[in-house]
Chain A
Amino acid sequence: MMRFTAIRLVEIAAMLVLMSFVIYALIGLMPGDPIDLMRSADPRMSAVDVARLKLAYGLDRPLLERYLAWAREALAGDLGYSRLFAEPVAAALLPRLGNSLALMGSSFVIAFAVALGLGTVAARRPQSRLDTAINLFCFAGVSVPTFWLALVLILVFAAGLGWLPASGIAAAGTSDIGDRLRHLVLPVATLSLASAGGYTRYVRAAMREALGQDHIRTARAKGASEARVVFHHALRPALVPVTTILALSFGGLVSGALVTETMFAYPGMGKLIFDAVMGNDYNLALSALLLAAATAMLANLAADLAYGWLDPRVVYR
């Protein structure tokens, strides 16, 4: 187990180094470079100025050399400056990471609670009308385009009924917790509705599997109540594969709900990555993408480890 974890950690580190180079190179392939941007902001710049600036910023040097210079600074803790937010990259990242955690965390809790309930109910009466209805709900959740769901919710609850704010994180100038919660309702509803379907399918399958085991029959035979059979004997083994899903979806936390955050103008990591890429904010895009990739890979490892820990039959070598 230790050896397995160590090997995986080394692999993840190697992947991140490789990815940092690939993303660095890809960003270099996006339209425009920092000097072009300066030039478009100030038309009085001459070709001589451009050449001088390229020399001063080292943009005339080869890609690998520039990458190594970036890597040296990044490893020393300096991620550079964000053009879009006019503050150091780390200072731009941190609050948005917190916002994403709040959004994704609460959506996850809600979606998971819904999935546990629906999945268990559906698994107890397979092929019943209720099971069919829940199955349809699952497919709807998996199939709905998130941006469209967000749009419809905005149309109905913000534009139509006027019950809830359509965008942002708080009304200007307030730091009221109720106001913040009201701003969270629609994005959280979008994300939970879109993800509950997939989770429900997993819970149902795991519960079906668990309810078919011999020890369930034994528990029923010795006269355990239905509630005890379902919640004590079946739910616990069923939660093993479900925990894996939990850990895996944690990996999505940092890249955030890019689409949902963009739709609701919610200042989280997903919107930050989108804005950074679209706004030619190279430093910020690079750091945010790497952070997202690192979290996703670590979550993947955590999922594997959790599986082995919860199910003693699984052995990693």
Chain B
Amino acid sequence: MKLPVLLLAAIAIASFAGPPLAAALDIDPQAVELLDRLAGPSVSHPLGTDELGRDVLFRLLKGGRVSLSIGIAAAIAAAALGTAIGLAAGYLGGWTDRALMRATDALIALPLLPLLIVLAAIDLDKLGLPARLIQSDDVSLVRILALTVLVGWTTSARLVRGATLITRNRDFVRAARSLGAGTPHILWLHILPNVLGPLIVAATLSVADVILLESVLSFLGLGIQPPLASWGSMLSNAQELIATAPMLAVYPGLMIFLTVIACNLFGDALQQRLDPRQRRS
């Protein structure tokens, strides 16, 4: 449990604190130094420089900020959406339940990556979204968040629905109902706390999934677009220089790998901690 947490904390702190720190120290590692292109490791550039002479380490940290933010934000949003859907399906039952669960099953069965590629290629102009959003620098960020949330809610929906079905007829819930408690009160106070543990585990594991998905889409050129950069999109750029500067492609992938494996190990450890029945035997 300790190692993955330490690794995650190190990556997160470096990614979020590194750039402001550099700014505070009045270093501009983003500066383009064309005379110092593709340089090897040195004291001023620990991991060398990229094709525009920018510091590779600093770019990695900035990319990490984007990748991690997307991972965490999308995982939380997807868990929230899944919770709402799971609660609705489990508590209302009947046709609502059947329709929602069919949709969940279908989404799980579908080949996601090909469909996401179609969704990522959609022309936002044709959707009639406000031009201010479409032309902003962050549009690729918003788009990738929407896509990952759209496909990421199924696990938590199933979890929450299952727990709701078990809990909704337990004595304490019946007692609350007979005392006149309304549906929102019951859902929020009596049912939700019972799934919080597994839900947190699912959300932790989905941070890993989201980071992987974002990196794949960005790598294929369909995710994060310049001026923003994530680990996936950095790798995509570095691919063109693979023959001259292979390390430029190796570093971002290594960061993705380390972050994702740390998230997965942490989620797994959390699961065993919270649910002793699932302890590895």
Residue in A28, A152, A255 whose beta carbon sits within 8 Å of that of B253 in the complex: A152
Q: A148-B235, A151-B249 are in contact. Are A293 and B242 (CB under 8 A)?
A: no
Query: How far does the alpha carbon of A217 sit from the alpha carbon of B212 in the complex, in Å?
Result: 43
Cβ–Cβ < 8 Å partners of A143 in chain B = 208, 212, 257, 260-261, 263-264
Query: How far does the alpha carbon of A151 sit from the alpha carbon of B239 in the complex, in Å?
Result: 8
A147 touches B250 (CB 8 A): no
Cβ–Cβ < 8 Å partners of A144 in chain B = 257, 260-261
B118 touches A27 (CB 8 A): yes
Cβ–Cβ < 8 Å partners of A212 in chain B = 281
Residue in A126, A258, A259, A293 whose beta carbon sits within 8 Å of that of B280 in the complex: A126
Query: How far does the alpha carbon of A146 sit from the alpha carbon of B235 in the complex, in Å?
Result: 12
A142 touches B235 (CB 8 A): no
Residue in B115, B246, B256 whose beta carbon sits within 8 Å of that of A155 in the complex: B246
Query: How far does the alpha carbon of A154 sit from the alpha carbon of B281 in the complex, in Å?
Result: 38
Cβ–Cβ < 8 Å partners of B109 in chain A = 251, 296-297, 300
**Number of chain B residues whose Cβ lies closer than 8 Å to a Cβ of chain A:** 44
Cβ–Cβ < 8 Å partners of A262 in chain B = 220
Query: How far does the alpha carbon of A16 sit from the alpha carbon of B96 in the complex, in Å?
Result: 21
Query: How far does the alpha carbon of A31 sit from the alpha carbon of B115 in the complex, in Å?
Result: 16
**B24 adjacent to chain A (CB < 8 Å):** no
A274 touches B220 (CB 8 A): yes
Residue in B102, B246, B257 whose beta carbon sits within 8 Å of that of A145 in the complex: B257
**Chain B residue nearest in CB terms to A252:** B111
B261 touches A139 (CB 8 A): yes
A251 touches B111 (CB 8 A): yes
Q: A252-B111, A255-B111, A293-B111 are in contact. Are A148 and B239 (CB under 8 A)?
A: no
**Chain B residue nearest in CB terms to A155:** B246
- Closest CB of chain A to B237's CB: distance in Å? 13
**Chain B, interface SS category:** helix
Query: How far does the alpha carbon of A11 sit from the alpha carbon of B243 in the complex, in Å?
Result: 50
**Number of chain A residues whose Cβ lies closer than 8 Å to a Cβ of chain B:** 49
A11 touches B102 (CB 8 A): yes
Q: Which of B120-128, B146-154, B187-195 lines the interface with chain A?
A: B120-128
B114 touches A147 (CB 8 A): no
Residue in B118, B232, B260 whose beta carbon sits within 8 Å of that of A30 in the complex: B118
**A273 adjacent to chain B (CB < 8 Å):** yes
A145 touches B212 (CB 8 A): yes
Encoded as 1 (CB less than 8 Å from any A CB) or 0, chain B from 166 to 181 comes to 0000000000000000
Query: How far does the alpha carbon of A150 sit from the alpha carbon of B242 in the complex, in Å?
Result: 13
B111 touches A278 (CB 8 A): no
What are 13 A-B contacts defined by CB distance under 8 Å? A15-B106, A19-B110, A29-B127, A31-B126, A139-B268, A140-B257, A143-B212, A151-B253, A155-B242, A254-B111, A259-B216, A273-B117, A274-B114
Contacts A159-B243, A289-B114 known; list 13 others, CB within 8 Å: A19-B110, A26-B119, A139-B268, A143-B257, A144-B257, A145-B215, A147-B235, A151-B242, A155-B246, A212-B281, A259-B216, A259-B219, A289-B115
Chain B residues in contact with chain A, CB under 8 A?
102, 105-106, 109-111, 113-115, 117-119, 121-123, 126-127, 208, 212, 215-216, 219-220, 232, 235, 239, 242-243, 246, 249-250, 252-254, 256-257, 260-261, 263-265, 268, 280-281
